[in-house]
Amino acid sequence: MSIRQPASRALAALFAAVFALAGAPALAQKSFPAKTVRMIVPFPPGQATDIVARLMADSLTRSWGQQVIVENRGGGGGVPGMLAGRDAPADGYTLTFGTSGTIGVNPSLYSNLPYDPLKDFAMVNGVFIVPLMIIAHPSAPYASLKELVDAAKKEPGKLNWGYPGTGTSQHLTGELFKFRIGVDIVGVPYKGSGPMMTDLLGAQITLAVDSLASALPQVKAGKIRAIAMTSAQRVPQLPEVPTVAELGYPGFDGVGWAGMVAPKATPPEIVEKIGADVRQALADPAMRERIIERGAIPDPRGPKEFSEFVSAEIAKWGEIVRRAKLKAD
Protein backbone atom coordinates (compact mmCIF):
# COMPACT_ATOMS: atom_id res chain seq x y z
CA MET A 1 0.00 0.00 0.00
CA SER A 2 2.73 2.46 0.97
CA ILE A 3 4.68 1.53 -2.18
CA ARG A 4 1.70 1.72 -4.57
CA GLN A 5 0.42 5.11 -3.42
CA PRO A 6 3.59 7.09 -4.20
CA ALA A 7 3.85 5.27 -7.56
CA SER A 8 0.24 6.14 -8.38
CA ARG A 9 0.79 9.76 -7.43
CA ALA A 10 3.96 9.90 -9.57
CA LEU A 11 2.10 8.37 -12.52
CA ALA A 12 -0.75 10.84 -12.13
CA ALA A 13 1.70 13.73 -11.98
CA LEU A 14 3.38 12.44 -15.15
CA PHE A 15 0.06 12.25 -17.02
CA ALA A 16 -0.87 15.73 -15.81
CA ALA A 17 2.43 17.11 -17.08
CA VAL A 18 1.98 15.42 -20.47
CA PHE A 19 -1.56 16.75 -20.85
CA ALA A 20 -0.41 20.23 -19.80
CA LEU A 21 2.30 20.19 -22.45
CA ALA A 22 -0.12 18.91 -25.06
CA GLY A 23 -2.53 21.70 -24.25
CA ALA A 24 0.12 24.44 -24.24
CA PRO A 25 -0.07 25.22 -27.99
CA ALA A 26 -3.84 25.56 -27.86
CA LEU A 27 -3.58 27.76 -24.78
CA ALA A 28 -0.95 29.93 -26.47
CA GLN A 29 -3.17 30.31 -29.52
CA LYS A 30 -6.16 31.23 -27.38
CA SER A 31 -4.32 33.77 -25.22
CA PHE A 32 -2.36 35.46 -28.04
CA PRO A 33 -2.01 38.40 -28.18
CA ALA A 34 -1.99 39.62 -24.60
CA LYS A 35 -0.28 42.94 -25.35
CA THR A 36 0.53 45.41 -28.11
CA VAL A 37 1.86 43.93 -31.36
CA ARG A 38 4.49 45.76 -33.43
CA MET A 39 4.34 45.55 -37.24
CA ILE A 40 7.55 46.65 -38.98
CA VAL A 41 7.31 48.09 -42.50
CA PRO A 42 10.79 48.39 -44.06
CA PHE A 43 9.75 51.44 -46.10
CA PRO A 44 8.78 55.07 -45.44
CA PRO A 45 5.18 56.09 -44.66
CA GLY A 46 2.85 56.45 -47.62
CA GLN A 47 4.40 53.69 -49.72
CA ALA A 48 2.04 50.91 -50.94
CA THR A 49 3.20 48.37 -48.36
CA ASP A 50 2.77 50.92 -45.59
CA ILE A 51 -0.78 51.77 -46.69
CA VAL A 52 -1.93 48.14 -46.72
CA ALA A 53 -0.04 47.40 -43.50
CA ARG A 54 -2.07 50.11 -41.76
CA LEU A 55 -5.30 48.63 -43.09
CA MET A 56 -4.24 45.24 -41.74
CA ALA A 57 -3.14 46.73 -38.41
CA ASP A 58 -6.55 48.36 -37.95
CA SER A 59 -8.34 45.11 -38.76
CA LEU A 60 -6.20 43.00 -36.40
CA THR A 61 -6.54 45.60 -33.64
CA ARG A 62 -10.31 45.16 -33.81
CA SER A 63 -10.05 41.37 -34.04
CA TRP A 64 -7.52 40.89 -31.25
CA GLY A 65 -8.63 43.61 -28.87
CA GLN A 66 -4.98 44.62 -28.62
CA GLN A 67 -3.31 47.51 -30.40
CA VAL A 68 -1.24 46.75 -33.50
CA ILE A 69 1.28 49.54 -34.17
CA VAL A 70 2.95 50.09 -37.54
CA GLU A 71 6.62 51.03 -37.25
CA ASN A 72 8.33 52.36 -40.39
CA ARG A 73 12.02 51.47 -40.83
CA GLY A 74 12.71 52.89 -44.29
CA GLY A 75 15.95 53.20 -46.23
CA GLY A 76 18.77 50.90 -47.29
CA GLY A 77 16.71 48.87 -49.73
CA GLY A 78 14.58 47.61 -46.84
CA VAL A 79 17.56 45.88 -45.23
CA PRO A 80 17.53 47.76 -41.86
CA GLY A 81 13.83 47.07 -41.41
CA MET A 82 14.25 43.37 -42.15
CA LEU A 83 17.14 43.13 -39.68
CA ALA A 84 15.02 44.78 -36.99
CA GLY A 85 12.33 42.19 -37.62
CA ARG A 86 14.78 39.31 -37.64
CA ASP A 87 16.40 40.32 -34.34
CA ALA A 88 13.14 40.88 -32.44
CA PRO A 89 12.03 38.38 -29.77
CA ALA A 90 10.49 35.31 -31.39
CA ASP A 91 7.19 35.56 -29.55
CA GLY A 92 4.80 36.80 -32.23
CA TYR A 93 4.70 40.35 -30.90
CA THR A 94 6.92 41.70 -33.68
CA LEU A 95 5.84 41.05 -37.25
CA THR A 96 7.48 42.35 -40.41
CA PHE A 97 6.20 42.95 -43.91
CA GLY A 98 8.46 41.07 -46.30
CA THR A 99 8.11 42.02 -49.95
CA SER A 100 9.09 40.86 -53.41
CA GLY A 101 12.08 43.16 -53.07
CA THR A 102 13.25 42.52 -49.52
CA ILE A 103 12.84 38.74 -49.43
CA GLY A 104 12.33 37.82 -53.08
CA VAL A 105 14.97 39.81 -54.98
CA ASN A 106 17.49 41.05 -52.39
CA PRO A 107 19.06 37.59 -51.83
CA SER A 108 20.34 37.70 -55.42
CA LEU A 109 20.78 41.45 -55.81
CA TYR A 110 23.09 41.89 -52.79
CA SER A 111 26.38 39.99 -52.61
CA ASN A 112 26.48 40.06 -48.80
CA LEU A 113 22.88 40.36 -47.68
CA PRO A 114 22.98 40.20 -43.86
CA TYR A 115 19.84 38.07 -43.59
CA ASP A 116 18.49 34.93 -45.22
CA PRO A 117 14.74 35.12 -45.86
CA LEU A 118 14.15 31.38 -45.49
CA LYS A 119 16.58 30.68 -42.63
CA ASP A 120 15.92 33.81 -40.55
CA PHE A 121 12.15 34.19 -40.90
CA ALA A 122 8.99 32.16 -40.47
CA MET A 123 6.53 32.86 -43.28
CA VAL A 124 3.25 33.83 -41.63
CA ASN A 125 0.90 34.66 -44.50
CA GLY A 126 0.57 36.42 -47.81
CA VAL A 127 -1.18 39.80 -47.69
CA PHE A 128 -1.35 41.34 -51.15
CA ILE A 129 -0.09 41.16 -54.72
CA VAL A 130 0.76 44.22 -56.82
CA PRO A 131 -0.07 43.44 -60.47
CA LEU A 132 2.26 44.97 -63.04
CA MET A 133 1.56 45.94 -66.62
CA ILE A 134 3.13 46.97 -69.90
CA ILE A 135 1.84 50.39 -70.91
CA ALA A 136 2.36 52.70 -73.87
CA HIS A 137 1.77 56.27 -74.97
CA PRO A 138 -1.29 56.46 -77.27
CA SER A 139 0.97 57.64 -80.11
CA ALA A 140 3.03 54.43 -80.00
CA PRO A 141 2.61 52.33 -83.16
CA TYR A 142 1.64 49.19 -81.26
CA ALA A 143 -1.78 48.63 -79.76
CA SER A 144 -1.28 44.97 -78.84
CA LEU A 145 1.39 42.73 -77.36
CA LYS A 146 1.87 41.00 -80.70
CA GLU A 147 2.54 44.31 -82.43
CA LEU A 148 5.01 45.26 -79.70
CA VAL A 149 6.86 41.94 -79.92
CA ASP A 150 6.94 42.08 -83.72
CA ALA A 151 8.39 45.62 -83.61
CA ALA A 152 11.01 44.61 -81.03
CA LYS A 153 12.09 41.58 -83.03
CA LYS A 154 12.20 43.54 -86.28
CA GLU A 155 14.63 46.11 -84.88
CA PRO A 156 16.47 44.69 -81.84
CA GLY A 157 17.70 47.34 -79.42
CA LYS A 158 15.72 50.18 -80.98
CA LEU A 159 12.76 50.14 -78.59
CA ASN A 160 13.15 51.31 -75.02
CA TRP A 161 10.93 51.29 -71.98
CA GLY A 162 11.00 52.96 -68.62
CA TYR A 163 10.85 51.34 -65.21
CA PRO A 164 10.90 52.90 -61.71
CA GLY A 165 14.29 51.97 -60.34
CA THR A 166 16.96 49.30 -60.77
CA GLY A 167 16.12 46.02 -59.07
CA THR A 168 12.42 46.80 -58.67
CA SER A 169 9.70 44.32 -59.57
CA GLN A 170 8.96 46.41 -62.66
CA HIS A 171 12.60 46.29 -63.77
CA LEU A 172 12.98 42.55 -63.22
CA THR A 173 9.64 41.76 -64.83
CA GLY A 174 10.83 43.68 -67.88
CA GLU A 175 14.01 41.59 -67.90
CA LEU A 176 11.94 38.41 -67.49
CA PHE A 177 9.86 39.48 -70.48
CA LYS A 178 12.95 40.08 -72.62
CA PHE A 179 14.48 36.69 -71.78
CA ARG A 180 11.23 34.74 -72.06
CA ILE A 181 10.02 36.32 -75.31
CA GLY A 182 13.47 36.71 -76.84
CA VAL A 183 13.51 40.44 -77.55
CA ASP A 184 16.02 43.23 -76.99
CA ILE A 185 14.33 46.27 -75.42
CA VAL A 186 16.56 48.87 -73.78
CA GLY A 187 15.62 49.72 -70.20
CA VAL A 188 15.51 53.31 -68.94
CA PRO A 189 15.63 53.50 -65.12
CA TYR A 190 13.80 56.30 -63.31
CA LYS A 191 13.79 57.39 -59.67
CA GLY A 192 10.24 56.25 -59.06
CA SER A 193 6.98 55.88 -60.95
CA GLY A 194 6.15 59.60 -60.77
CA PRO A 195 8.99 60.90 -62.97
CA MET A 196 8.58 57.96 -65.34
CA MET A 197 4.86 58.57 -65.75
CA THR A 198 5.52 62.26 -66.43
CA ASP A 199 7.84 61.34 -69.29
CA LEU A 200 5.43 58.73 -70.63
CA LEU A 201 2.54 61.18 -70.63
CA GLY A 202 4.76 63.70 -72.43
CA ALA A 203 5.87 61.06 -74.97
CA GLN A 204 9.51 61.40 -73.91
CA ILE A 205 9.31 57.62 -73.73
CA THR A 206 6.60 55.55 -75.39
CA LEU A 207 6.75 52.32 -73.35
CA ALA A 208 6.98 51.43 -69.67
CA VAL A 209 6.53 48.64 -67.16
CA ASP A 210 4.73 49.89 -64.09
CA SER A 211 2.40 48.84 -61.30
CA LEU A 212 -1.34 48.75 -61.74
CA ALA A 213 -1.64 51.14 -58.79
CA SER A 214 0.45 53.77 -60.55
CA ALA A 215 -0.89 53.32 -64.08
CA LEU A 216 -4.59 52.75 -63.40
CA PRO A 217 -5.73 56.41 -63.20
CA GLN A 218 -4.00 57.28 -66.46
CA VAL A 219 -5.34 54.17 -68.22
CA LYS A 220 -8.86 54.94 -67.03
CA ALA A 221 -8.50 58.52 -68.28
CA GLY A 222 -7.34 57.29 -71.71
CA LYS A 223 -4.00 59.08 -71.37
CA ILE A 224 -1.94 55.90 -71.70
CA ARG A 225 -2.62 52.56 -73.35
CA ALA A 226 -2.64 49.24 -71.52
CA ILE A 227 -0.82 46.63 -73.62
CA ALA A 228 -0.91 43.64 -71.25
CA MET A 229 -0.89 42.59 -67.61
CA THR A 230 2.20 40.68 -66.51
CA SER A 231 0.32 38.91 -63.70
CA ALA A 232 -0.83 35.31 -64.13
CA GLN A 233 -4.50 36.32 -64.17
CA ARG A 234 -6.47 39.33 -65.32
CA VAL A 235 -7.28 41.85 -62.62
CA PRO A 236 -10.69 43.09 -61.47
CA GLN A 237 -9.65 46.72 -61.89
CA LEU A 238 -9.07 46.25 -65.66
CA PRO A 239 -10.81 43.00 -66.60
CA GLU A 240 -10.63 43.82 -70.32
CA VAL A 241 -6.82 43.88 -70.39
CA PRO A 242 -5.32 40.46 -71.30
CA THR A 243 -2.27 38.91 -69.66
CA VAL A 244 1.06 38.15 -71.29
CA ALA A 245 0.44 34.50 -70.36
CA GLU A 246 -2.80 34.23 -72.31
CA LEU A 247 -1.35 36.03 -75.32
CA GLY A 248 0.97 33.18 -76.19
CA TYR A 249 3.42 32.92 -73.29
CA PRO A 250 1.87 30.48 -70.80
CA GLY A 251 3.18 30.57 -67.25
CA PHE A 252 4.45 34.14 -67.52
CA ASP A 253 4.02 35.84 -64.16
CA GLY A 254 5.77 38.96 -62.90
CA VAL A 255 4.25 40.83 -59.95
CA GLY A 256 5.15 42.67 -56.81
CA TRP A 257 3.90 41.25 -53.52
CA ALA A 258 4.04 41.51 -49.76
CA GLY A 259 3.39 39.18 -46.87
CA MET A 260 3.88 38.92 -43.16
CA VAL A 261 6.92 37.25 -41.60
CA ALA A 262 8.16 36.67 -38.05
CA PRO A 263 11.48 35.68 -36.45
CA LYS A 264 12.30 32.09 -37.37
CA ALA A 265 11.97 30.67 -33.85
CA THR A 266 8.42 31.98 -33.38
CA PRO A 267 6.29 29.06 -32.09
CA PRO A 268 4.41 27.38 -34.97
CA GLU A 269 1.10 27.63 -33.14
CA ILE A 270 1.50 31.41 -32.89
CA VAL A 271 2.40 31.60 -36.59
CA GLU A 272 -0.72 29.60 -37.43
CA LYS A 273 -2.87 31.79 -35.19
CA ILE A 274 -1.64 35.02 -36.79
CA GLY A 275 -1.94 33.56 -40.27
CA ALA A 276 -5.52 32.45 -39.67
CA ASP A 277 -6.46 35.91 -38.37
CA VAL A 278 -4.79 37.60 -41.35
CA ARG A 279 -6.77 35.37 -43.72
CA GLN A 280 -9.95 36.21 -41.86
CA ALA A 281 -9.16 39.92 -42.27
CA LEU A 282 -8.50 39.47 -46.00
CA ALA A 283 -11.81 37.63 -46.41
CA ASP A 284 -13.74 40.65 -45.17
CA PRO A 285 -15.43 42.28 -48.21
CA ALA A 286 -14.68 45.80 -46.98
CA MET A 287 -10.97 44.98 -46.55
CA ARG A 288 -10.81 43.32 -49.96
CA GLU A 289 -12.42 46.34 -51.58
CA ARG A 290 -10.02 48.76 -49.92
CA ILE A 291 -7.02 46.75 -51.12
CA ILE A 292 -8.42 46.47 -54.65
CA GLU A 293 -9.12 50.22 -54.70
CA ARG A 294 -5.41 50.76 -54.14
CA GLY A 295 -4.43 48.75 -57.19
CA ALA A 296 -3.54 45.54 -55.37
CA ILE A 297 -5.07 42.06 -54.98
CA PRO A 298 -5.55 40.31 -51.60
CA ASP A 299 -3.28 37.28 -51.18
CA PRO A 300 -4.55 34.83 -48.55
CA ARG A 301 -1.79 32.20 -48.88
CA GLY A 302 -1.19 30.53 -45.51
CA PRO A 303 2.22 29.82 -43.92
CA LYS A 304 3.05 26.70 -45.98
CA GLU A 305 1.81 28.09 -49.31
CA PHE A 306 3.45 31.46 -48.72
CA SER A 307 6.76 29.80 -47.83
CA GLU A 308 6.66 27.74 -51.03
CA PHE A 309 5.79 30.84 -53.04
CA VAL A 310 8.69 32.84 -51.57
CA SER A 311 11.12 29.99 -52.29
CA ALA A 312 9.96 29.88 -55.91
CA GLU A 313 10.24 33.67 -56.26
CA ILE A 314 13.80 33.69 -54.88
CA ALA A 315 14.77 31.07 -57.46
CA LYS A 316 12.98 32.82 -60.34
CA TRP A 317 14.35 36.29 -59.70
CA GLY A 318 17.78 34.91 -58.85
CA GLU A 319 18.04 33.54 -62.38
CA ILE A 320 16.95 36.88 -63.89
CA VAL A 321 19.39 38.86 -61.73
CA ARG A 322 22.25 36.59 -62.80
CA ARG A 323 21.33 36.67 -66.50
CA ALA A 324 20.96 40.45 -66.46
CA LYS A 325 24.18 40.77 -64.41
CA LEU A 326 22.58 43.04 -61.82
CA LYS A 327 24.09 43.99 -58.48
CA ALA A 328 23.08 46.53 -55.85
CA ASP A 329 26.47 46.56 -54.08
Q: Would you place residue 1 in the very low, low, confident or very high pLDDT band (cuts 50, 70, 90)?
A: very low
- Residue 20: predicted pLDDT: 47
Average pLDDT over residues 215-223: 96
Question: Cα(first)–Cα(last) distance of the chain, in Å?
Answer: 76
- Residue 327: predicted pLDDT: 87
- Residue 26: predicted pLDDT: 55
Comparison of pLDDT for 8 and 42, the residue scoring more:
42
Domain 29-129+256-324 has CATH 3.40.190.150: yes
Q: How far lies 140's CA from each of 183, 201, 203, 244, in Å?
A: 18, 12, 9, 19
Report pLDDT digits (tens) over 161-171: 999 999 999 99
- Residue 3: predicted pLDDT: 44
- Supply the mean pLDDT for the chain: 93
- Residue 28: predicted pLDDT: 57
Average pLDDT over residues 300-309: 98
Does residue 247 register a pLDDT over 70?
yes
Average pLDDT over residues 67-83: 96
- Residue 185: predicted pLDDT: 97
DSSP-assigned states of every residue in 205-244: SSEEEEEHHHHHHHHHTTSSEEEEE-SSS--TTSTTSPBT
In CATH terms, are 29-129+256-324 and 131-247 the same topology? Answer: yes
Average pLDDT over residues 62-79: 96
- Are 126 and 305 in contact by the 8 Å Cβ rule? The answer is yes
Element containing residue 75 per DSSP (H, E) = none
User: 93: which residues sit within 8 A by CB, 6+ positions away?
Assistant: 33, 35, 36, 37, 38
Ranking 13-27, 59-73, 258-272 by mean pLDDT, the lowest is 13-27
Which residue ranges make up each domain of the chain? 29-129+256-324, 131-247
Domain 131-247 has CATH 3.90.1150.10: no
- Residue 329: predicted pLDDT: 73
Average pLDDT over residues 32-40: 98
Q: pLDDT exceeding 70 applies to what percent of the chain?
A: 91
200-222 burial: b if 16+ Cβ within 10 Å, else e: beeeebbbbbbbbbbbbebbeee
